[in-house]
Amino acid sequence: MSIISKEPKIKNYGKIVSLPVDWIFPNPAQPRRLFGQEELAELALSIAENGLLQPILVRRVSEKRFQLISGERRLMAVRSLDMKSIAAIIYDVESGESATMALVENIHRKNLSFFEEARAISNLINIWGISQEEAAKKLGRSQSAVANKLRLLKLPDEMRVKIEKNGLTERHARALLCLDDHNLRKEVLERIINQRLNVAQTEQYIKKLLENANGRSGSVATYLCVVKDVRLFVNTINKAVDTMLCSGINAESITNENDEFIEYIVKIPKAQVYKRRDSEKPAVV
């Protein structure tokens, strides 16, 4: 692998080459904003001992300027080791495509925080000049999932920082969005942090605040009541499964939850399963 000293020929596109690290600049559409120093130090140590196992992705902007598409952690780690060059794959893409690739690559790795993902989707929409529906198609998401992510950006930066710093979840953030008053949001967030309220406790607390202020009517209060009702239904199913198990029925329950729905699967063996198991038991002599 030779370092590129002149403008790369088109045949270099899609192939691994060695680029001077000084020629590479960050991608403004990079979704990730927080990089743990300990995590970077571990990566740098791994690269020092084993070399760079996965090249970074870049796009050529000019003769000696390449914009990073993905691999910012790897590039930062290489720079911390004072390495002069890095293995890279050059892609022939425009800035909008570069933003999409950076976002999708990070989402697939599942290492974005929910706020970073929301910012990245917003940047993607602005760069491409597309609608939420079109962005959802590009990312393989539903429009409602994209809309829910973008709603998180209604929280001010100072609140987002506190939410991430204290390890709160996306559902905590969504619950705070039910409150229109900014000062009240700040007070509630402090209470959540100080009292270490989980999601259920947070939703219940905000529900009571809304009921006291506006009565039981209103879409927000209705939404929180639905959340509570769903939880009751799930508890009912769990109790039913426990009852079957106590009765000797080998029922199995599987729960999957994402941004849009809770999937609950209950598997109850049919009678022939028990007959087959009985026939397979060794005879007692």
pLDDT of 284 reads: 47
Please tell me the class of the 10-112 domain: alpha beta
* Residue 75 contacts residue 22 (beta carbons within 8 Å): no
pLDDT of 26 reads: 82
pLDDT of 106 reads: 59
pLDDT of 172 reads: 94
Please spell the DSSP secondary structure of 238-267, one letter per residue.
Answer: HHHHHHHHHTT---EEEEEE-SS-EEEEEE
Element (H, E) at 16: strand 16-20
Strand pairing of 85-91 and 16-20? antiparallel
- pLDDT means per 10 residues in the chain (285 residues)? 41 75 80 67 86 85 84 88 91 64 59 80 78 81 86 93 92 91 91 92 89 58 49 67 72 69 76 60 50
* Residue 24 contacts residue 86 (beta carbons within 8 Å): yes
pLDDT of 110 reads: 52
- The residues, ordered by sequence, that sit 6+ positions from 197 with a Cβ below 8 Å of its Cβ are 191, 205
pLDDT of 277 reads: 57
Measured torsion, CA atoms of residues 43, 111, 255, 135, in degrees rounded to the nearest 10: -150
Domain boundaries, the chain: 10-112, 155-215, 218-285
pLDDT of 6 reads: 42
pLDDT of 57 reads: 85
